[in-house]
Amino acid sequence: MVTFYGQPLNFTTVYKQSLSLTACISYCYTTVSCVAIYNIENSEDCMVFEFGTISTLEQLDGSEGKVMGVKMISNNSTSCPAEANGNSMEVTRRR
């Protein structure tokens, strides 16, 4: 799972959990249907996205403490892929 400062832009369904950022990441990592999470640092508002419910993310600078966690496709279970190719989400960058 890759984490970065960002927020969801295009999504249809979200499941809310009352979890810290660390617990939110762990929950998604161990839940097969979860593909991404969104959490604001120091809060317990965890948004969980399942496969097919989120399509676009926005990368932020971190000043707002908004964190995304995204599962990445990898054939190697010991490292993350170098590129996002093969994943079903699109990332935009705030200018």
Q: How many domains does the chain have?
A: 1
Buried b (16+ CB within 10 A) or exposed e, 60-73: beeeeebbbbbbee
CB 72 within 8 A of CB 4: no
CB 61 within 8 A of CB 94: yes
Positive or negative CA dihedral for 64, 8, 19, 26?
A: negative
CATH of the domain at 58: 3.50.4
Structural domain for 53, as ranges: 2-93
Per-residue pLDDT of the chain (95 residues; tens, 9 = 90+): 889 999 999 999 899 999 999 999 999 989 989 999 999 988 999 999 998 899 899 999 988 899 999 987 666 555 555 555 555 555 555 54
